């Protein structure tokens, strides 16, 4: 059955896209409305919080206006948007395909694709999991088989590429490669999860060359790395942990300047068939982590010397694929693995 990607957004006339059905030109923005790019997973501030204003507080009776929709392949990726470029990665047939579209019309600037043979072990769809990341005039994609590409945002030309799974001998694990890369300064940071290390790698975003590796005992998780300034120090937090017997994984606090690890905090379900999939959430000088499969959540106090203590743990907030959002002193998240047993 054909899946449909529907985006409600502004529209401007542009060259047609055969995969897109355009419906109606949208109304102008509300007076004083502030818009914001969404260049990577969890947004520009890496916490799922948008700075946009004058959004509708209530949907119209018939729902929001559908401006355009696109036939899409398989995958779990979300679009990345910067200015007049929307980049989306999905699987069409036996190829992973990157589409660069105009976000207001769906008009296509370019597409880039490459072969894939990925098969999900549990029968879920075989498309890419990680979302594109736009940074300046480049966009980075990370496919389900660990194919990493740096593309020219304007043309789709390949600037550099690496086969991470092959180079670092990373097994497929349960659901393939899924964590979205993080741009931090001049680095592209990925929870590679190589057997025996490194767990996390900082690559030059310009050349693709490895700059540093961090950690040596935990595999690749499905949680994306997030940056934060804690106690006045810039850090990257990675909730790592791949397929292993017994299951192993947890939180790494990494100095992005050199890859030094401040602390490791084990956090993983005791069930073999389990994953760490929700990204850490930095809240002031604290970090929240959570996992499903009867694991729960924990809030850690982080101190200037890099050490940490546990503020609290709870079995009532075990997030699966979704990352909690912090707002005004409260955490909002879905507890539970699947729809029947999930609660907000």
Annotate 267-291 with DSSP letters as a single string. ---SSSS----SPPEEETTEEEEEE
Confidence class of residue 341 from pLDDT cuts 50, 70 and 90? Answer: confident
For residue 269, pLDDT beyond 70? yes
Query: What pLDDT does residue 336 have?
Result: 79
DSSP assignment letter at 231: T
Query: What pLDDT does residue 337 have?
Result: 75
The pTM of this model reads 0.93
Backbone angles phi, psi at 341, to 5 degrees: -110, 15
Query: What pLDDT does residue 139 have?
Result: 99
CA-based torsion, 41, 43, 49, 54: positive or negative? negative
Any domain includes 249: no
**Percent of the chain predicted with pLDDT > 90:** 86
What CA–CA distance (Å, rounded) separates 279 from 333?
12
Any domain includes 48: yes
Any domain includes 185: no
Number of domain units in the chain: 1
Confidence class of residue 183 from pLDDT cuts 50, 70 and 90? Answer: very high
Nearest to 243 by CA among 271, 263, 210: 271
Query: What pLDDT does residue 278 have?
Result: 96
Residue numbers of the domain that contains 84: 3-175+265-341
pLDDT digits (tens, 9 = 90+) for 192-239: 999 999 999 999 999 999 999 999 999 999 999 999 999 999 999 999
- Better-scored residue on pLDDT, 179 or 339: 179
DSSP assignment letter at 166: H
Any domain includes 126: yes
Nearest to 11 by CA among 61, 68, 65: 68
Any domain includes 23: yes
Cβ-Cβ contacts under 8 Å for 326 (sequence gap 6 or more): 47, 49, 281, 283, 288, 332
Query: What pLDDT does residue 2 have?
Result: 39
Average pLDDT across the chain, whole number: 93
Any domain includes 121: yes
Nearest to 42 by CA among 226, 288, 287: 226
Torsion over CA of 93, 97, 100 and 102, rounded to 10 degrees? 20
pLDDT digits (tens, 9 = 90+) for 24-45: 987 888 999 999 999 999 999 9
What CA–CA distance (Å, rounded) separates 186 from 256?
10
Any domain includes 255: no
DSSP assignment letter at 342: -
Instruction: Check whether the bond before 87 is cis (ω within 30° of 0).
Output: no
- Decide if 70 contacts 4 (C-beta within 8 A): yes
Nearest to 50 by CA among 63, 34, 66: 34
Any domain includes 220: no
Confidence class of residue 15 from pLDDT cuts 50, 70 and 90? Answer: low
């Amino acid at each position: 059955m054909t899946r449909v990607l529907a985006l409600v957004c502004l529209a401007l006339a542009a060259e047609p896209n055969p995969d897109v059905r355009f419906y109606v030109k949208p109304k102008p923005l509300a007076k004083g409305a502030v818009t914001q790019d969404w260049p990577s997973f969890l947004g520009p501030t890496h916490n799922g919080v948008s700075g946009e204003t004058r959004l509708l507080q209530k949907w119209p009776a018939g729902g929001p206006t559908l401006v355009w929709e696109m036939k899409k392949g398989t995958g779990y990726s979300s679009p990345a948007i910067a200015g007049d470029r929307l980049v989306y990665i999905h699987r069409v047939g036996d190829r992973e395909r990157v589409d660069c579209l105009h976000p207001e019309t769906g008009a296509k600037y370019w597409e880039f694709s490459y072969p894939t043979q990925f098969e999900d072990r549990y029968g879920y769809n075989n498309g890419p999991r990680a979302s594109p990341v736009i940074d300046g005039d480049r966009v980075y994609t990370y496919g389900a088989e660990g194919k990493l590409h740096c593309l020219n945002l304007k043309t789709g030309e390949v600037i550099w590429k690496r086969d991470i799974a092959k180079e670092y001998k990373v097994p497929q694990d349960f659901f393939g490669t899924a964590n979205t890369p993080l741009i931090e300064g001049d680095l592209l940071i990925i929870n590679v999860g190589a057997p025996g290390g490194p767990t996390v790698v900082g690559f030059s975003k310009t050349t693709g060359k490895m700059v540093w590796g961090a950690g040596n005992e935990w595999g690749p998780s499905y949680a994306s790395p997030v940056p934060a300034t804690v106690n006045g120090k810039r850090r990257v937090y990675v909730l790592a942990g791949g397929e292993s017997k017994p299951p192993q994984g947890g939180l790494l606090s990494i100095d992005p300047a050199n890859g030094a690890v401040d602390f490791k905090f084990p956090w993983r379900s005791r069930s073999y068939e389990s994953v760490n999939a929700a990204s850490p959430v930095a809240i002031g000088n604290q970090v929240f982590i959570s996992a499903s499969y009867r694991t729960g959540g924990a809030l850690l106090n982080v101190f200037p010397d890099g050490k940490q203590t546990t503020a609290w743990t709870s079995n009532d907030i075990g997030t699966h694929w979704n990352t909690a959002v912090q707002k005004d002193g409260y955490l909002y998240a879905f507890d539970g693995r699947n729809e029947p047993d999930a609660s907000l």
